Structure 1
């Protein structure tokens, strides 16, 4: 029975699309890692709680099949801020997040230098 569960999870992982804009941070990658961890021994892995395993699979399958998206359709494709889905994708992309981190580091460095009581040369000597 474990072999059947393992194959079902593998099939679900194969079908779940990887979002290339979120390299290493998307749900598909996370699921693949968790399945690999849960089924370390492949088909011969012993499941301690088969009911819970089946529930997890069914929940993930419903999310993948967009059951809730169809059951509870959205009136608009924007959030309460008015940001569209595409704008959210751009902001959450790994490249955009990296650019924001670089900007934060630059600003932090400027503030640190501005409010430092020591001259930059003195701070480097310590």
Structure 2
């Protein structure tokens, strides 16, 4: 029975898309990693709680199939701020988030990093 569960999870991982703009923060990559941890021995892995495993699979399958998006359709594809889905994706991309963090740094921190060649360590003295 563990072999069947393992194959179902593998099929789900294959179907789940990877978002290359969210390096290190992508849900698809995280799910793949957790499946690899959960099924270390592949099809011969012993599952301690089959019910919980099945519930987890069903939950992930509903998310992947957009079950709730279809069940509760939205009137508009914007948020309360008026930002569209594409604009949100652009803002949440890892590269853009790094740029935003760089913009948040003060002038002295930027200057200190340029002179020392490494980012400043936050110490309790200055916090």
C-alpha spacing 1:108/1:40, structure 2 compared with 1 (3 Å) = farther
| The structure with more radius of gyration | 1
C-alpha separation in 1, matches of 2:74 and 2:35: 31
C-alpha spacing 1:3/1:76, structure 2 compared with 1 (3 Å) = same
What is residue 115 of structure 2 aligned with on the other side?
none
Aligned length: 112
Question: Where in structure 2 are the equivalents of 1:1-126 lying within 5 Å?
Answer: 1-107=1-107, 109=109
C-alpha separation in 1, matches of 2:92 and 2:39: 30
Unaligned 5+ residue runs, structure 2? 113-127
Structure with greater proportional helix content? 1
CA apart distance, 1:5: 0.4
Q: Secondary structure at the match of 2:59?
A: helix
C-alpha separation in 2, matches of 1:55 and 1:69: 19
C-alpha separation in 2, matches of 1:58 and 1:42: 20
C-alpha separation in 2, matches of 1:108 and 1:24: 29
Unaligned 5+ residue runs, structure 1? 113-126
C-alpha spacing 1:28/1:108, structure 2 compared with 1 (3 Å) = farther
C-alpha separation in 2, matches of 1:32 and 1:57: 13
C-alpha separation in 2, matches of 1:100 and 1:34: 30
Give the RMSD, CA atoms, in angstroms: 1.7
TM-score between the two structures when normalised by the length of structure 2: 0.82
Q: Secondary structure at the match of 1:20?
A: coil
